[in-house]
Amino acid sequence: MANNRLGEYILTHSILLIIVLVISNLLSGIIYGYSIAIVAPSLEYIEEEFTDVFHNITAVNGTKPYNFHVSMMAGLVAGGNNFGGLVGSILGIFVVDALGRKMTTIAIAIIALPTGLATAFAPNFWSLLVFRVLFGIAVALAKLNFPVYVSELSPQKYRAPLGCMFTVGLGIGILFAYSIGFGFSFVKNGWRYMYGISAIFGPVFLVLGIFMPESTVWLDLSARNKKEQGGSDNFFSRIRNRVLFLKKQAILLYSNKSNIFKFSLCLLLYAGLHMSGIFAMIQYAPKMFDAAGFGENASLYGSMVLGGWILLMNLITTPITGKFNRRPLLIFAMICMSIATLVMGFNLRFIQAPAKAYVAIGMIALFFLGLFTGYGNFCAIIATEILPTEIRGFCFAQIAIVDWFFAFNVGLWFLPVSNAITTDVCFWIFSGCTIICLIIFTILLPETRHLAIDTKVVKEVEEATPFIATSDNSVNA
């Protein structure tokens, strides 16, 4: 799909192009942040409505017994979106490059609008899960599509700040979800409005897809594919060439021990991020505040404050983290996060109210300070800098799958496991995982900030697979 006159006009006016790129990456972060954070304020009301599934919720002395079945059903609500993200990340490896950036954006809109509305009108618990999964596919496609799109069209001097817009959007999405959740927590069937509002992303992405110019990198690669195919360029030929490209990169990756080692470190970066407890913090914020001794309304206020703190940390740390060495900031971040989860466990086990509430606030603040100072912002940057260009696209495709896999499992199992072994032990496990990763990275991870990033694609890969539409060609230009 060639660019129309509007697309050509935007491409030739740098200010308009930058505005489009900022909006694109912000929206990808916002839809991701909203989809994972809206679980926190909605979960209690979903439990109350679908009592046929969430059985055994009988008030005893003003409290609700939380047996394994109930916590498992709650985990399915939290994990449904992430399971959709896992499916979407697998599909996106092929679909994003086969459709192009504009058509993928329109596809996101087509999925998000009806599934967002359908979630709001879900007649039963199981249809709610299905629609959550389908909406998660749209989220995963957005998370894959826009960072690549932005990297392909960004002017070099603006590439880093434009790339960070996803993280800023993530903070906005989380705060937006907590605010919407608080506002509708006093409305009958308020959880339906919380999820129904996510349908707004449909028309927003549709408008963006209509007006955004197609990536010139993708157009060039599509033209090369058409030439190689003897004048034929269609969805299926692009899929075929994408498969050939990934097979070639797989050989380059797994036949080289150095590449395997670097890739393993990158996988551990992303797996360790999820095992640090980040999604437990975001998706179950009100329950954590309840456990720390806050009242029901205070827990909702606390969740909103948490969303504001996350956004504030994003805005403060995002512009400056790229100016410092990666390794010391990553180590500092992991120390903060491990201390926060360790103390949080002791707080839940030993400290009594009202001190328990204040300690919880301090440790959650410390956790997200560390997260956004180094860990959260550096995963993709370190992976980009340490992985060779010729395998980077294939590695990031696998990283995306691993990323969603851990997000799904942590969201699914946190409540059942915390119900079985208590929440404080779960936080000690998170702390232990972070400490193990901290030791490994301290010993094995090199400083990557000053590594030269090779921007050429290996010639033999290009010759074997003429249609190479990955972030390799542009992220690091």
Q: Summarize the confidence of residues 198-224 as an average pLDDT.
A: 87
Task: Give the DSSP letter string of 100-141.
Answer: -HHHHHHHHHHHHHHHHHHHHT-SSHHHHHHHHHHHHHHHHH
Look up residue 156 and give its DSSP letter. Answer: G
Q: Summarize the confidence of residues 9-37 as an average pLDDT.
A: 86
Q: Answer whether 403's CB lies under 8 Å from 89's CB.
A: yes
pLDDT of residue 55: 59
How many residues are given for the chain?
Answer: 477
> Which range among 181-185, 411-415, 446-450, 460-464 shows the weakest confidence by mean pLDDT?
460-464
Q: Summarize the confidence of residues 367-388 as an average pLDDT.
A: 81
pLDDT of residue 6: 61
| C-beta atoms surrounding 207 within 10 Å | 13
pLDDT of residue 464: 34
Q: Which domain holds residue 327?
A: 5-475
Question: Which has the higher per-residue pLDDT, 471 or 329?
Answer: 329
**Banded model confidence at residue 63, pLDDT cuts 50, 70, 90:** very low
Q: Summarize the confidence of residues 260-264 as an average pLDDT.
A: 93
**Banded model confidence at residue 470, pLDDT cuts 50, 70, 90:** very low
**Banded model confidence at residue 60, pLDDT cuts 50, 70, 90:** very low
Strand, helix or coil for residue 313: helix
Quote the number of domains for the chain: 1
Question: Which has the higher per-residue pLDDT, 18 or 239?
Answer: 18
Handedness of CA 174, 180, 184, 186 (dihedral sign): positive
Give the pair of three-digit tokens for residue 360: 């919880």
pLDDT in tens, 276-310: 988 777 766 666 666 666 665 666 666 777 778 88
pLDDT of residue 286: 66
Average pLDDT, the chain: 80
Q: What phi and psi, each to the nearest 5 degrees, are found at residue 60?
A: -130, 110
Give the pair of three-digit tokens for residue 252: 């380059």
User: What pTM was computed for the model?
Assistant: 0.82
Question: Which has the higher per-residue pLDDT, 462 or 341?
Answer: 341
Strand, helix or coil for residue 422: coil
Strand-pairing partners, residue 63, are: 60
pLDDT of residue 265: 93
Strand, helix or coil for residue 60: strand
**CATH label of the domain that carries residue 316:** 1.20.1250.20
Of all residues in the chain, the percent with pLDDT exceeding 70 is 80
Cα–Cα distance between 298 and 270 in angstroms, integer? 33
Q: Answer whether 356's CB lies under 8 Å from 347's CB.
A: yes
pLDDT of residue 369: 87
Q: Which residues contact residue 124 at a Cβ distance below 8 angstroms, ignoring those fewer than 6 apart?
A: 50
Q: Nearest-CA neighbor of 269 among 471, 444, 147, 136?
A: 444
Question: Which has the higher per-residue pLDDT, 344 or 98?
Answer: 344
| C-beta atoms surrounding 288 within 10 Å | 25
pLDDT in tens, 426-446: 999 999 999 999 999 999 998
pLDDT of residue 31: 96
| C-beta atoms surrounding 232 within 10 Å | 11
Strand, helix or coil for residue 78: helix
Q: Report how far Cα 91 is from the mean position of its chain's Cα atoms.
A: 16
Q: Answer whether 41's CB lies under 8 Å from 194's CB.
A: yes
pLDDT of residue 194: 94
Cα–Cα distance between 340 and 58 in angstroms, integer? 34
Q: Is residue 474 scored above 60 in pLDDT?
A: no
Q: Indicate the helix (H) or strand (E) that contains 149.
A: helix 125-153
> Which range among 133-147, 173-187, 260-274, 446-460 shows the weakest confidence by mean pLDDT?
446-460
Q: Answer whether 197's CB lies under 8 Å from 185's CB.
A: no
Strand, helix or coil for residue 359: helix
**Banded model confidence at residue 321, pLDDT cuts 50, 70, 90:** low
**Banded model confidence at residue 365, pLDDT cuts 50, 70, 90:** confident
Q: Which residues contact residue 472 at a Cβ distance below 8 angstroms, ignoring those fewer than 6 apart?
A: 389, 390, 392, 393, 457
Task: Give the DSSP letter string of 214-241.
Answer: PPHHHHHHHHHHHHHTTS---HHHHHHH
Cα–Cα distance between 109 and 202 in angstroms, integer? 4
Cα–Cα distance between 242 and 247 in angstroms, integer? 9
